[in-house]
Structures are given as structure tokens and as C-alpha cells.
Amino acid sequence: MPYRRLPNTDSSRLKALKTAIQKGKELTPMDMAFKQSTFQRVRSFLPKWEKVLTEHKTTYDIQIKNNQEYLKKLKKAKLYISHFIQVVNMAIVRGELQQSVRAFYGIEEDNNKLPSLNTESDVIELGKNLIEGEVKRKMKGYSSVTNPTIAVVKVHYDNFLEAYKFQKMLQKNHTRALNNLSDIRDESDDIILNIWNEVEESYSKLPEDLKREKAQEYGLVYVYRKNEIGRISLFKDNEARIFNL
């Protein structure tokens, strides 16, 4: 015997609520298989559910769309930061700069490796150190590092930093929308459960097959277990053989 399966996704919850609303509009209170008070409850709740679903989808879509542009700016900032340090390291190897120059950028003097740029925090911190360090060098009368200059590095660093802050704001908006959705999901489930229970109660005196058929008109979902599906398939195969004889 198939069992009733309540909605387990937000889209299926929306479908169940809309189906109940539609039946409530089509039928009089006397003909409807669930209570009028339940219908008023779902009618009041549905706009709120649709609103949080829309907010969740919108904030998610905006975040994903913006992420592509954000990643481009992150990649560009990493590129220019790493190139700047490589130029400094090569100048040290050629003897044009002293190892002590690294201290201006917050890097150990004997460290000739490229600092980590694996995380956004790494990029933010290192970019800030390079920009501030180069300003200090200029103030002491040292010549500027070129190809790239710190001015060019700063342009791409600032573009990344602006995109980073905007992306964080989008993530915050999406998290808030997700929390709002989570907060009312239980209410959605409770309303649907009440509707389905009342529908089944209205048809409880009917034979099982007819009861399920009537209930499905209200959006109720019934599924067979795996072993039952096998038996049904076998029954249909045998039935087909009989009629073909």
C-alpha cells in the first residue's frame, strides 16, 4: 500500500499550498475537503511564503552573477601583487636593491619566496603592506619600483577590495534571506500537514483507492515502496500476458 509523502523541498511546499488555495477558490466551504479556517490560514500565509522564496532566489542569483566579476578582480589583484614582489626579488638578485627593502613590505629580509596569496585575507593584507611600504620608501627618498609601479598595483587592489566588500554584502543579504526562509518553513509544514490530515479525514470512509484518488486532487502525494513497485510491475506484466493470449 502506498504511503503519503509530505513535501520535502521548498518548491514542493509552494505547490502544495497553491493547490490548496486553488481548491478553496473552486469549491464552496461545504464541498471543500478541509476546514474553512485552514483555508483562511493558508491564504494568509501564502503571500509571506512566496515573498521569502523570491527574496532567497533573488539574493542567491545576484550573488552568483556578481561572483564571476569578483573572481576576475581577485585574480587581477593577485597577479599584480605577485608581479610587484617578483620585480623586487629580481632587483635584489641583481644587486639593485638591498634585502632590507623587504622589511618595508612586512616581509622577512631573507625571504625570497612569494608570500601566500591563497586566501582573500592574504591578498588584502599583502596588498595593504605593499602600498604602505612603497609610500614609506618614497618618503625616505628611495626610487620607485616599476613594471608594475605601486600606483598600478593599487588600482587593481582597490578594485578587488571594493568588489570584496560588495560580495560580502551580497552574501550577508543571502544569509538573511535564507534565515527568513528557515524561520517560516516549520509553519509551512504545519499548515500543509493540517490540510492533508483534514482531507484524508473527509474521505476516510471511502475505499483506500478512491480515498487516495480524491485526496490527490488536493495535492496529496502517495508513493509506493520499492518492493511494492516490483510487485505492481509484475502484476501488470502478468495482466498483459493474459489479455494477449
Residue closest to 114 by CA, chosen among 87, 93, 136:
87
* Residue 3, φ and ψ in degrees, nearest 5: -115, 155
Residues in the chain: 245
Residue closest to 17 by CA, chosen among 37, 52, 41:
41
Q: Which residue has the cell 475537503?
A: 33
pLDDT tens for the 245 residues of the chain, in order: 788 999 999 999 999 999 999 999 999 999 999 999 999 999 999 999 999 999 999 999 999 999 999 999 999 999 999 999 999 999 999 999 999 999 999 999 999 999 999 999 999 999 999 999 999 999 999 999 999 999 999 999 999 999 999 999 999 999 999 999 999 999 999 999 999 999 999 999 999 999 999 999 999 999 987 766 555 444 444 444 544 54
Hey, what's the cell of 76?
Answer: 587581477
51 close to 158: Cβ distance less than 8 angstroms: no
Hey, what's the cell of 225?
Answer: 515502496
Going from N- to C-terminal start, the domains of the chain cover: 3-244
